[in-house]
Amino acid sequence: ASSGEVVLIRHSGKDAGILTLSLSRPKAKNALSHSLVRDFRRALDEVRNDKDTRVVILRSTVPGVFCAGADLKERATMSPTEVEQFLYSMKTAFKELEALPQPTIAALDGAALGGGLELSLCCDLRVAGPRAILGLPETSLAIIPGAGGTLRLTKLIGASQTKSLVFTARRLGPYPAFSMGIINDVVEAAECMDEKSTGDQNLGYERALEWAREIIPNGPVAVRMAKRAINHAASADPASGLEIEQLCYAQVIPTEDRLEGLRAFKEKRKPVYKGC
């Protein structure tokens, strides 16, 4: 049975191709419990082979929070074996998110702490609203980031910046996080002054939708192959990184979309891609 803590929405009409995965566990600020992680993995199973899904947005429906990290209360009640099984499942979920073939965008407009920030690091892009708060507070709990944070954040912003966050357990607002390079885009303070920003509207999500709409018109096979090549580039040595790029490049050459791109260029119009 599903806990209802992970909600999957396929958009239609002008936003067809966008799929939103929402974390929805208000009573614990979306803390990652056993049931939430299980449902999250089930949702990823649905998304992975869905050719109609072109961009995935990961968001929270809980105002002021993206995800408070691992569920510290549930964990206190688990046996050592259960903790081990849970941590394995969580780390697997993170790897599965990172390996989705479609581009993924984390919409942050609230606290993304510990495992919550680590979860967002498995997405390709992170965009933030004004309420985003990011941090790896693990050392303040006498542990260390253990769901990929030390590796994924180091790859993203370098060792010294990562240490500055982990050693201090400091919490960052969206602008410092943007200037450190953790976030790709942040809704500017001036933009929050208009009527859109009233109430509990998640401006990070609005911005993520804008990014998705900019990705969708591009060649679907090309975008997936680019993601595959870039993900490999991050861990491969230069020679095999270039080899993988060529393998991915070879996948786009026989597509009809590639010919459509050339035709559209010649005819001075926007291309219409079919994903094959």
Phi and psi angles of residue 89, each rounded to the nearest 5 degrees, phi first: -65, -40
Q: Among residues 28 and 177, whose Cβ is nearest to ligand CO8?
A: 28
Per CB under 6 A, does 165 bind ligand CO8? no
Kindly identify the residues of this chain, within the stretch 36-65, that bind ligand CO8 according to CB under 6 A.
64-65
CB 3 within 8 A of CB 36: yes
87 binds ligand CO8 (CB under 6 A): yes
Integer Cα distance of 196 and 245 in angstroms? 42
Told to check if 174 binds ligand CO8 by CB under 6 A, we report: no
Residue placing its CB nearer to ligand CO8 in the complex, 44 or 55: 44
Q: How far is the CB of 184 from ligand CO8 (least distance, A)?
A: 23
Q: Of the listed pieces 136-144, 157-165, 174-182, 218-226, which binds ligand CO8 according to CB under 6 A?
A: 136-144
Given 21, 68, 127, 222, the residue binding ligand CO8 (CB under 6 A)? 68
Residue 270 CB partners (closer than 8 Å, separation 6+): 217, 264
Residues 6+ apart with CB under 8 A from 273: 217, 218, 219, 220, 257, 260, 261
Rounded Cα–Cα distance for residues 66 and 230 (Å)? 26
Q: Where do runs of H (alpha helix) occur along the chain?
A: 34-48, 72-76, 80-98, 115-120, 149-157, 159-168, 174-180, 203-215, 220-235, 238-252, 256-266
- Per-residue binding letters, 116-135, with ligand CO8 (x by CB under 6 A): --------------------
Catalytic (active-site) positions: 70, 115, 118, 138
The residues that touch ligand CO8, with contacts defined as CB under 6 A, are 28-29, 31, 64-65, 68-73, 87, 90-91, 111, 113-115, 137-138, 141, 146-147
